[in-house]
Amino acid sequence: AGRANRSSGAMSAEAADREAVTSSRPCTPPQTSWFEFLLEEALLETHLKKACPDPPPVQLIVQFLEQASKPSVNEQNQVQPPPDNKRNRILKLLALKVAAHLKWDLDILEKSLSVPVLNMLLNELLCISKVPPGTKHVDVDLASLTPTTAMAILLYNRWMNQLQQEKELTENILKVVSVFSFLFRFHSLILQLGSSSLHCTIDEKRLAGYCQACGVLTSSSDSSPQQSTLYSQIHCCMRCGNYQLVKIFLEDNLTLILPVQFRQSVLRELFQKAQQGNEALDEICFRICTCNTVCDVMQGRTIAIQFNQLFLKPSKEKIDFLLEVCSRSINLEHASESLKRKMAAFLKNMCVSLEDLQLVFMISSHELFITLLKDDERKLLVDQMRKRSPRINLCTKPVTSFYDIPASASVNIGQLEHQLILSVDPWRIRQILIELHGMTSERQFWTISSKWEVPNVYGSVILGIKDNLTRDLVYILMAKGLHCSAIKDFVHAKQLFVACLELVTEFSPKLRQVMLNEMLLLDIYTHEAGAGVSGDRPPSDLISRVRGYLEMRVPDIPLRQVVAEECVAFMLNWRENEYLTMQVPLLLVQTNPYVKLGQLLAATCKELPGPKESRRTAKDLWEVVVQICSVSNQHKRGNDGRVSLIKHRESTLGIMYRYVSEPLVLTTILSLFVKLHNVREDIVNDIAAEHISIWPSTIPNLQSVDFEAVAVTVKELVSYALTINSNNHFWLIIQADIYFATNQYSAALHYYLQAGAVCSDFFNKMVPPDVYTDQVIKRMIKCCSLLNCHTQVAILCQFLREIDYKTAFKALQEQNSHDAMDSYYDYIWDITILEYLTCILSSEIVKAKIIKAIGQTELNASNPEEVLQLAAQRRKKKFLQAMAKLYF
């Protein structure tokens, strides 16, 4: 019956093309054209009431406005603006009706319409709402307008406000302020009318926040609801500079409404004003800082350095206010034990830090102190304070004349050390160290922070400096510079390195070269993180300095391995292959393993794009890598040997998977290691890669290769490569093969599908056959089979060059299938598989559906090949998109 049906349905190629477009989708009506809405007035309303109108509303708006704004050509062949005729006016009105159907939802309109189209639409709304052109909306009295006109103005200004947020504040500050001035009136109107409007969705809290923030920018004296908010009161107090601000902060210590960042920003602004000469703010700064400090104590945060600075000269008045703040910041009846212990510890620390016993007695005799501390604790602390010997003022010790900077005698050592840890200003670091060395000569200040780390290769040279002050300064400048470089704070790292270079130039040529090397590495990092991201080539000066480093032959200079690795990787990333292959000195290649590895990589990559792949350079690179990954006799025994081998591999191959980012180089490295992985005798599942044929197929001493280390390297390499470019389909296939080889079938399918998606515009185009090879399809089939998704197996069998009917039939017979089964039958295009389904299915409904599918004219076996391919491709696309939604 099936064959008779197919023969009766045969048609010519031309008829088949026409039928494939029209008859193959009987459920899809033809799309309504824009001009039909001009001819039939009621058609628009009927069309918009459909569940899924085609074309959708936003597309109709675009079509109507495009047709209405088309320029005309006069008899002299001159382009004229669009005529203002009845046709164009009706088209604009239709666009407005569609937007009204969408309830003027700006979220939908902004996502779907371009800025010029949306601007044209809203301007038409202003015109039809009788808003005179050129009217300044800020000056309009909304209460005097009709609801339609007010709605049009509000809608247009909402959109303009969102556009202005995307522009530079410095260029548009006046416009922003004027728009936000309008927002104040808008917010007042919303409070009167409510936000439940048919034409807009208003986030009242967000709008109130905007208005509240604008209250800082505008000096409007209008009485509005936001004037009573806590933030508005604070900004008003800051403009006036009155003590009401202290009261607000003091009350907030209990309520904790204000965020800590806001409290800190207020204090910073007050300090700035005080430093500009407003001495009246000094007392307010102290009081606000005290409130913030007590709040920090209660929240378990670190005490800010400003508080310590303000208490360098404590007084009775300061202690009185501090105790008042502490008392009013804790409710002893309801406070937790943890909160009480935090406050008690703070008061005890204050007592310990004070030298004046009278001030200590003020705290220890206070009611809060007595309540929070037990009798034994209080007695022990008071006795300790009384027996304490008076401190010796060490600040009178003369300062080394070499630096000629006076030390401050008012700061104790602990506070200066704290400042030293926090500072990244080279001049300030030098000044602090001078003050510290003026107080005591017994300390080694480079040891005060465990975070200060200098490579061992440099540490021995720096710690050999005889002068203690110079040694501390050089060590700390370098440690801080390296830390700033590690966290990508390149500006401060440069300042610290420059200061260190100036210092060591005076007495140590060896350390001078060390700093020049570190500054070269920093400049490489800076370029790679800045201009290099957008593909800009590095300046010629930087390339010359990299070459100079690689060719440097200065004896007894301590060298960091990472500098050499980065320099070679830098040359590879910017395709300086001519230098690496032709110009690099032979002695350098023989003595520097990183340069040798870089030269072999550059030579191999240089030959790859050509018509003949060079096997000689590839063979040399292969032999070097095999040697690195081989297990020597001393490594064969015990776990320590394996650890040392892995460290050796990482050390030597560091440039491969830590610094190289050039795609061709990465592809070559991946190809080499994949081939090395596949050479293993007991390998079951090979991994596919590009250019894999250029590498040798055998290894003389197979047992000497540590294939576990190779497997780890392959995984690390492909993970790193995908961080460089997550859309490289060949790298994605390698990652999928790795997961397949380790029995992680769901993850393997994820990456197989992702590889196909990135090279086919999410399957809207055909996946290239060199991506979805028969091997890849067979592995996808096996993944689905082992996941018990048997219907997916049957469909994927059609993707093979020769359809695997045996596997497909066996999969369709499975009863325990974990996929959607019946819903996947629409994706089958092979008539033989469909006919087989009619024989094994028991459900008459599903069987009827499949028989109907067999009868589709586009699947008729007598159709031309291109018609059948079109039908198959359409079903492939839908199936792969459905799979992607399932596994992504």
pLDDT band at 334; cut points 50, 70, 90: confident
Residue with token string 């103005």: 153
Q: Are 690 and 755 in contact (CB under 8 A)?
A: no
Ramachandran angles phi, psi of 705, nearest 5°: -85, 130
Listed in order, strand segments (DSSP E) in 78-185 are 79-80
Closest alpha carbon to 219 in 235, 206, 198, 241: 235
d(CA 504, CA 259): 45
Q: Smallest Cα–Cα separation from 622: which of 705, 553, 539, 530?
A: 705
From residue 165, how far is each of 114, 162, 171, 256, 611 by CA, in Å? 17, 5, 11, 31, 53
Mean predicted confidence (pLDDT) in 575-600: 80
pLDDT band with cut points at 50, 70 and 90 for residue 81: confident
Can you tell me the mean pLDDT for 334-344?
Answer: 89
Compute CA distances 262 → 110, 230, 235, 250, 325, whole Å. 33, 12, 11, 15, 19
> 553 or 669: which carries more pLDDT confidence?
669
d(CA 752, CA 773): 11
- Name the DSSP letter for residue 685: S
Query: Which is more confident, 583 or 174?
Result: 583
Question: Under a CB-based contact definition with an 8 Å cutoff, are residues 69 and 79 in contact?
Answer: no
Q: What percent of the chain is modeled with pLDDT above 90? A: 16
Residue with tokens 């520097």: 592
H or E stretch at 201: none
**Which of 29-38, 129-138, 592-601, 711-720 tops mean pLDDT?**
711-720
Q: What are phi and psi of 201, to 5 degrees?
A: -115, 115
Per-residue CA distances from 692 to 278, 622, 643, 670, 674 (Å): 74, 12, 29, 9, 8
Q: Taking a C-beta distance cutoff of 8 angstroms, is the pair 383, 360 a contact?
A: no
825, pLDDT greater than 50? yes
- Asked which of 369-383, 701-715, 733-747 is least confident by mean pLDDT, the reply is 369-383
Is 476 in contact with 429 (CB distance < 8 Å)? Answer: yes
pLDDT at 49: 85
Is residue 224 predicted with pLDDT exceeding 60?
no
- The per-residue pLDDT for 191 is 59
Q: What local confidence, expressed as pLDDT, does residue 637 receive?
A: 41
DSSP labels, 276-318: TT-GGGHHHHHHHHHHHHHHHHHHTPPPPHHHHHHTSS--HHH
With vertex at residue 871, the alpha carbon angle to CA 823 and CA 2, rounded to the nearest 5 degrees, is: 75
Q: Kindly report, residue by residue over 448-489, the tens digit of the pLDDT.
A: 888 889 998 898 899 888 888 899 999 999 999 999 999 999
Asked whether 668 and 649 are in contact (CB, 8 A), the reply is: no
Statement: residue 142 has pLDDT above 50? yes
Please determine, for residue 281, whether its predicted confidence score (pLDDT) is greater than 60.
yes
- Are 778 and 769 in contact by the 8 Å Cβ rule? The answer is no
Among the ranges 317-321, 371-375, 847-851, which has the highest mean pLDDT value? 317-321
Higher pLDDT, 661 or 651: 661
Tokens 């596997």 map to which residue? 807
Distances (CA, A) of 449 to 220, 283, 434, 438, 499: 51, 34, 18, 20, 20
pLDDT band at 139 (very low <50, low <70, confident <90, very high): low
Query: How far is it, in rounded angstroms, from Cα 424 to Cα 490?
Result: 12
**Contact predicate 223/215, CB 8 Å:** no
Q: What is the residue type of 827?
A: Y
Alpha helices in 388-533 (DSSP H): 413-422, 426-439, 456-462, 468-486, 490-505, 509-529
Listed range (13-17, 505-509, 628-632) with the worst mean pLDDT:
13-17
Which residues, at least 6 apart from 735, have a Cβ–Cβ distance to it below 8 Å? 718, 719, 722, 751
How far apart CA 782 and CA 775 sit, in angstroms, is 11
The pLDDT score that the predictor gives to residue 222 is 47
Q: pLDDT grade, residue 365 (50/70/90)?
A: confident
pLDDT, mean over the chain: 79
Phi, psi of 20 (to 5 degrees): -65, -30
Q: How confident is the model at residue 14 (pLDDT cuts 50, 70, 90)?
A: very low
The Cβ of residue 809 has, within 10 Å, a number of other Cβ atoms equal to 17
pLDDT at 179 exceeding the cut of 60: no
Angle between helices 316-328 and 357-364 (to 10 degrees): 20
Q: Quick one: pLDDT at residue 383? A: 66
Residue 888 has pLDDT above 70, yes or no: yes
Phi then psi dihedrals of residue 234, to 5 deg: -65, -45
CA distance readout (Å), 624 to 48, 563, 597, 710: 69, 21, 8, 14
Q: What is the pLDDT of residue 400?
A: 35
Residue with more model confidence, 174 or 757: 757
Task: Give a three-class secondary structure readout of 229-263.
Answer: CHHHHHHHHHHHCCCHHHHHHHHHHHHCCCCHHHH
Dist CA 146 CA 265 (whole Å): 44
Residue 174 clears pLDDT 70, i.e. is over it: no
- Whether the upstream peptide bond of residue 132 has omega within 30° of 0, thus cis, is no
More confident residue, 48 or 533: 48
Lowest-confidence range among 241-250, 660-669, 722-731, 750-759? Answer: 241-250
Output the pLDDT for position 22: 45
**Which of 441-450, 776-785, 840-849, 865-874 has the least mean pLDDT?**
840-849
Q: Where are the domains of the chain?
A: 34-128, 137-226, 227-380, 396-559, 726-887
Please give the pLDDT value at position 181: 57
Task: Report the Cα 3 to chain-centroid distance in Å.
Answer: 58
Cβ atoms within 10 A of the Cβ of 770, count?
A: 12
Query: pLDDT at position 3, please?
Result: 38
Measured CA angle at 775 (ends 717, 880), to 5 deg: 90
pLDDT at 496 over 80: yes
> Which of 279-283, 362-366, 632-636 has the lowest average pLDDT?
632-636
> Which pLDDT belongs to residue 392?
32
230 Cβ neighbours under 8 A, 6+ residues apart: 248, 252, 257, 258
pLDDT for 406: 43
